[in-house]
Structures are given as C-alpha cells and as structure tokens.
Amino acid sequence: MQTPGPFEYERATSVDGAIASLKRLGPEARIIAGGHSLLPMMKLRLANPEHLIDINDLAELSYICEEEGELRIGALTRHAELLDSELLARHFPLFRDAEYVIADPVVRNRGTIGGSLCQADAAEDLSSVCSAVKASAVIRGSDGERIVAMADFHIGPFMTAVGDGEMLTEVRIPLRPGGGSAHEKVERRAGDWAIAAASAAVWIDGGTIVDAGIALSAVGPTTVHVTRGEELVRGSSPSEELFEQAGEIAAADCSPVPDGRGPVDYKRHLAGVLTKRALRQATARALKQET
C-alpha cells in the first residue's frame, strides 16, 4: 500500500488550542478530522503537510441542534450522524438524500461535514446541499468568529474562505416555515463521486414559491449556484414546466469539464434533469408539510 511521508502530530484539546497551533505552525500544518480526504492524498504524496493537528477529541464540535431559529451543525459531526439525525431529516431531508449516496457506510463513520466542506472538492455533495438551504459557515480564528454565507464559502477548486490560522466550527441553517428540499445524484457506481448532482430547496407560502435554493455539484470548478434558476422559480407557482425551465437554466449555467465520469454534453444534460427532479421532490415535500 502507498504510505504517507513523515510529519509531526499533535492532538488538540480545545478549539482555541487547535487554532493557536495552526497559527503557530503556519501553512505547513493541517487539521485532520475524519481524514478520509486528507490521508488518501497524503498516501499518494499529493499532500505533504509537516504537521497534523488532530481535532477528533473536540466533542464540543459534534452536534446537531436547534437554536435561535437555526439548525446548527458542529463541524466535527460525522456523515453517519447526519444520515441518522431525525431532526435534520425533518427540517432538511436533502441531507439524508445526500448522505445515502456519499461514499459508503464505513467511510461515513469517520468523515465529517467540516472536512467535506473544507476539502472543497467540486463534486462534494454536501457543498451543494448547504448552498441550497442557504447555510452559513462559522469560521473561528484567534481574533474571534466570523460568519460567511455558503455562497461565498467555496471560492475555487479545493479553496475555501477559511484563512490561515482559522477553522470552520459550525454550519448554520436558517429555519423557515413551508420548506422542502431534495438532493439528486447520478454516479457510475455506488460510492463514486457524482457525475452531476443537484440540491434544491423551496419555501412555499400560499401556493407560491417564496424562496428557492438551487446548487449543483461536480459541474463547475466549485459549487454552482444556479441563481438565474432561483430567480425564475421565486414568486412562481410550482409546476412541471417551471421545474423543466429551471433545469434548462441549470444545464446552461454550469461549466462541467470532460473526464472519466462523462463528457460535457452529458453532464450538462444531467444537471438539467437532476435539477428538475430535485425541485419536483423538494416541492412535494414542502407541500406535504403544508397539509
């Protein structure tokens, strides 16, 4: 088996301690949580950090709770916990949709939401999920906390708004009435990265979609926010035609690259189909909620 290069290791005992270490050790230090993005890269010698700061003992970062009108998820919450959470499934069923098809059940016991979002792979399902539900990221540094909207969190391939000496600690999702959400993905085989994936959330009041979030994974350099699609849908009554049109916009507005998973035209097509399906399902869930 391939093996990582040498590095120094320390275990963080507090969030502030981890941040202090990050600051002290500089850019050659990386945080390790689940490790299922970082360690494979280190084994392939694609990543060679000199220091690893293990944050797995920071139980205070592992939670899913409702607070001040938001659902708050600690960065260290594991994929398996996100899948199992009834609270999360009740408010944002797209998380469960996505978690069923993220990696495999064994990897899900270790991988975390913080790790996935910070890895910032354009094909990461949770990135589009969090974007669609208008989540925000809580980033802590030695100077305190700041909050970054998901729309501004992923800035490029494998690049996030988390700066040197900073750490993602929490994801917050505003709770609003009349919401429904869904995530649709097509992959070559169970556990594979998406060829394309679409996350959709709608909020419906009196038969009209008052707000929507549509985001795509794997069809751009980073998460694709289908803002034109959201605009189309906002203020309209849901219909099959509407979903179809939103899908067309999604297909047009994404920028997939050809690779082993598929060529550009198929990925665009898929983005459109999955956007339509996700909107359809999100709406159905929102309406069930109303009745």
Partner 1 sequence: MAVTEENLPSPTTERPIGFGRLKRKEDARFIRGKGTYLDDIRLPGMVHGALLRSPFAHARIVSIDTSRALAHPNVAAVVTAKDLETLGLAWMPTISYDTQAVLAGDKVRFQGQEVAFVIATDEYSARDALQLIDVEYEPLPAIVNARKALDPDAPLIRDDKDGQTDNLASPLWEAGDEEATDRVFAEADTIVTRDIIYPRCHPAPLETCGMIADFNPNTGQLDIYNGNQAPNAHRTVYAHVAGLAEHMIRIRCNDIGGGFGNKVPVYPGYVCAIAGSIVAGVPVKWIEDRSENLMSTGFARDYIMHAEICAKDGKITGLRVDVIADHGAFDSTAQPTKFPAGFFHICCGSYDLEASHVKVKAVYTNKAPGGVAYRCSFRITEAVYLVERMVGALALEMGVDPIELRMKSFIQPEQFPYETTTGWTYDSGDYGKTMKVAMEIAGYDELRREQAEKRERGALMGIGISFFTEGVGAGPRKHMDILGLAMNDGADLRVHPSGKAVVSISAQTQGQGHETTFAQIVAEELGIPPEDVQVRHGDTDRTPYGLGTYGSRSTPVSGGAVAVVSRKVRDKARQIAATILETRAEDLAWEKGRWYVKGDPEKGALIEDIAAYAYSGDPMPEGMEGGLDAQVIYDPPNLTYPYGAYIAVVDIDPETAAVTVRRFIAVDDCGVRINPMIVDGQIHGGLAEGIGIALMEVITFDEEGNCLNSSFMDYLIPTALECPDFELGETVTPCPHHPLGAKGVGESPNVGSPPAIVDAVIDALHQTHGVDHIDMPCTPARVWAAMQGRPEPPQ
Partner 2 sequence: MQLKITINGEQVSRDVEPRQLLVHYIRDTPGLTGTHWGCDTSNCGACVVLMDGKPVKSCTILAVMCEGHEISTVESLEKNGELDPIQMGFHERHALHCGFCTPGMLMTTRALLNENPDPSEAEIRMAISGAICRCTGYKNIVSAVRWAAEHEAANKQEVH
Which residues of this protein are in contact with partner 2, per CB under 8 A?
Answer: 1-9, 32, 35-36, 39-40, 42-44, 52, 54, 56-57, 80, 103-107, 109-110, 190-191
**Closest CB 221 distance from partner 1, rounded Å:** 20
262 binds, among partner 1, partner 2, none (CB under 5 to 8 A by kind): partner 1
Sign of the four-CA dihedral 56, 57, 60, 65: positive
Cβ proximity of 112 and 79 under 8 Å? yes
Q: Give contact residues for partner 1 (rule: CB under 8 A).
A: 1-3, 5-6, 45, 104, 186, 188-193, 195, 260-263, 266-267, 269-270, 273-274
Quick one: what does residue 8 bind among partner 1, partner 2, none, with the CB cut-off 5 to 8 Å set by partner type? partner 2
What residue has token string 């539900």?
Answer: 133
Q: Smallest gap, in angstroms, from Cβ of residue 155 to partner 1?
A: 25
For residue 105, report the phi and psi dihedrals to the nearest 5 degrees: -60, -30
The 3-state DSSP class for residue 219 equals coil
Please choose which of partner 2, partner 1, none residue 263 contacts, taking the beta carbon within 5 to 8 angstroms, the exact cut-off set by kind: partner 1
The distance of closest approach from Cβ of residue 106 to partner 2 in the complex, given in angstroms and rounded to an integer, is 4
In the complex, least distance from residue 261 CB atom to partner 1, rounded to whole angstroms: 7
Q: What's the min distance (Å) between Cβ of 260 and partner 1? A: 6
Which of 38/135 has CB closer to partner 2? 38
Q: Quick check: helix, strand or coil at residue 28?
A: helix
What's the start-to-end Cα distance of the chain, in Å?
A: 55
Nearest CB to partner 2, comparing residues 1 and 241: 1
Per DSSP, which regions of the chain are E strands?
8-11, 29-32, 51-54, 64-67, 70-74, 136-141, 144-149, 154-156, 159-160, 167-174, 179-186, 196-205, 208-217, 224-225
Instruction: Decide which of partner 2, partner 1, none touches 7; Cβ closer than 5 to 8 Å per partner kind.
Output: partner 2
- Residue 90 contacts by C-beta under 8 Å, 6 or more apart in sequence? none
